[in-house]
């Protein structure tokens, strides 16, 4: 059986593999990008540099094997010159782009079960055409199981937060609702609303761009003070364009941020505010770190001096968690929301270096909060797979998406929380 010669779609690295699959996702040893089959070789494995051209037999264009209807689509949208075909991958030199909407091209190809990638190589624009990968059906019941489990765990967490809040009410003689079950329910609804809206934003952006994605998976985390580790959706098909990558990245944080703001304001209105002299100096106190937007909302809603002590209502804690989740997701690394945004502007290699720099920066920040050590290690792990970016890395980013990216940066700065929590 012949060995396949593969080329990375991102960095151009070539090497032989014991495979003849047309596409090996995220398998490039240099940058972690997708590798496509470009030729065959016999004998032991050897590696070649991106500049070296391994020997392989070029099939003439008339026997390239692309279905006639797929050829008609390509000729409708591009002026192409056939370059080579190996396995199921056909590579064209793009002489002229007749259709600037790559998503339109991709939708037409997907109807015939094909995908394409538009890349720049050595001053040339190349179009890679290959059979679409299999997208497995979603599990219809698993998201609901995780949803119900997370509702239970957030109710449990809300109940214990409610007990602490009610104890503070009684200690300082403040009026308010003292039913722990009602307070627990308000906390659970607030947290789930913020996280659910965040993921719904991603789901809507994915549907808008024809990206196949799962339903949101809420992650229960029992015996923690918030009861959840957040929620995720899994992207099951490639991102078509850099505009789509930015939309996917900004949609969740912006949606969740817009819900977290009123939730935080309601929670602050219900919180207990006392002068520092009224707080006992004995016993351990637990503190939530602040950020620019939380500080602004606190001053706007409470109208008290900055040295006053605020015992947060569980709804305010839910809002604080929503702002923190927004900040964490916008960190520009790997395949986090901020990573998709940053990758739209950066090459695969540059983004990989950024991911490494941020990871070690987070580890250094563990001097402020021990949790950053876990986050730094996590970023190193998930960053190892890289971020393959969009299929179309040739078309320019639209001005509207650049504006959305700027909005995301502003939200990132407003929600940045260097020291999320500590006890003293």
What is the tens place of the pLDDT at every residue in 93-142?
999 999 999 999 999 999 999 999 999 888 889 999 999 888 788 888 99
Alpha-carbon gap, residue 106 to 252, rounded angstroms: 24
Mean of pLDDT values over 43-72: 54
Reported as a pLDDT band with limits 50, 70 and 90, residue 64 is low
Find out whether 260 and 319 touch, Cβ atoms under 8 Å: yes
CA distance 166 to 275: 18
Is residue 45 scored above 50 in pLDDT?
A: no
d(CA 366, CA 380): 15
pLDDT at 135: 78
Pick the residue with more confidence: 250 or 28? 250
pLDDT of residue 341: 97
Residue 62 clears pLDDT 60, i.e. is over it: no
pLDDT, mean over the chain: 88
pTM: 0.84
* Residue 162 near residue 183 (C-beta atoms within 8 A): yes
pLDDT at residue 259 greater than cutoff 70: yes
> Across residues 160-177, what is the average pLDDT?
92
Quick one: what percent of the chain has pLDDT higher than 90? 67
74 SS3 class? helix
Most confident of 90-104, 166-180, 404-418: 404-418
Domain ranges of the chain: 3-131, 142-329+394-423
Q: What are phi and psi of 20, to 5 degrees?
A: -130, 20
- pLDDT, tens digit, 9 for 90 and up, residues 220-238: 999 888 999 999 998 888 9
Residue 22 CB coordination number (10 Å): 19
Q: Does residue 262 have a pLDDT over 60?
A: yes
| Cα angle value 356/357/362 (rounded, 5°) | 100
- In this prediction, residue 23 has a pLDDT band, given cuts at 50, 70 and 90, of low
Is the pLDDT at 410 greater than 70, yes or no?
A: yes
With 0-12 CB in 10 A as exposed, 13-18 as middle and 19+ as buried, what is 116? buried
Which of residues 291 and 11 earns the better pLDDT score?
291
How many C-beta atoms lie closer than 10 Å to residue 375's C-beta? 19
pLDDT tens digits for 181-228? 999 999 999 999 999 999 999 999 999 999 999 999 999 999 888 999
Q: What is the DSSP letter of 174?
A: -
Shortest CA distance to 226 belongs to which of 172, 264, 188, 183? 188
Indicate whether 346 pLDDT > 90.
Answer: yes
Tell whether the model's pLDDT for residue 29 goes beyond 90. Answer: no
Q: Is the pLDDT of residue 250 over 70?
A: yes
- pLDDT beyond 90 at 50: no
Give CA–CA dist 315/80, Å, rounded: 58
Distance (Å, rounded) from C-alpha 422 to C-alpha 408?
27
Q: Tell me the pLDDT tens digit for each residue of 371-389.
A: 999 999 999 999 888 888 9
């Amino acid at each position: 059986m012949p060995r396949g010669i593969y080329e990375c779609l991102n960095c151009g690295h070539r090497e032989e593999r014991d495979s003849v699959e047309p596409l090996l996702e995220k398998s490039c040893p240099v940058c972690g990008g997708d590798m496509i089959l470009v030729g065959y070789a016999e004998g032991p494995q050897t590696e070649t540099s991106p500049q070296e051209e391994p020997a392989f037999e070029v099939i003439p264009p008339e026997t390239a094997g692309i279905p006639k209807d797929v050829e008609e689509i390509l000729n409708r949208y591009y002026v192409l010159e056939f370059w080579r075909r190996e396995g199921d991958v056909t590579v064209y030199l793009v002489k002229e782009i007749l259709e600037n909407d790559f998503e339109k091209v991709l939708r037409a190809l997907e109807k015939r079960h094909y995908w394409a990638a538009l890349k720049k190589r050595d001053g040339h624009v190349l179009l890679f055409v290959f059979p679409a990968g299999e997208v497995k059906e979603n599990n219809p019941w698993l998201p609901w199981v995780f949803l119900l489990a997370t509702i239970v765990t957030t109710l449990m967490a809300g109940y214990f937060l409610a007990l602490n809040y009610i104890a503070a009410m009684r200690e300082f003689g403040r009026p308010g609702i003292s039913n722990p079950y009602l307070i627990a329910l308000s906390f659970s609804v607030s947290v789930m609303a913020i996280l659910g809206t965040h993921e719904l934003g991603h789901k809507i952006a994915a549907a808008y761009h024809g990206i196949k994605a799962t339903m949101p998976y809420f992650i229960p985390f029992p015996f923690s003070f918030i009861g959840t580790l957040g929620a995720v959706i899994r992207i099951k098909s490639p991102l078509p364009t850099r505009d789509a990558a930015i939309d996917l990245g900004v949609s969740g944080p912006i949606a969740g941020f817009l819900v977290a703001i009123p939730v935080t304001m309601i929670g602050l209105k219900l919180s207990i505010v006392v002068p520092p002299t009224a707080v006992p100096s004995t016993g351990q106190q637990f503190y939530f770190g602040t950020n620019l937007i939380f500080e602004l909302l606190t001053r706007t809603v409470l109208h008290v001096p900055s040295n006053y002590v605020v015992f947060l209502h569980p709804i305010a804690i839910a809002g604080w968690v929503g702002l923190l989740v927004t900040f964490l997701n916008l960190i520009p690394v790997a395949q986090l929301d901020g990573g998709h945004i940053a990758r739209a502007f950066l090459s695969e290699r540059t983004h990989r270096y950024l991911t490494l720099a941020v990871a070690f920066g987070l580890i250094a920040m563990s001097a402020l909060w021990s949790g950053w050590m876990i986050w730094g290690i996590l970023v190193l792990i998930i960053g190892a797979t890289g971020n393959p970016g969009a299929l179309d890395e040739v078309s320019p980013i639209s001005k509207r998406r650049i504006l959305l990216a700027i909005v995301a940066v502003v939200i990132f700065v407003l929600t940045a929380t260097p020291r999320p929590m500590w006890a003293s």
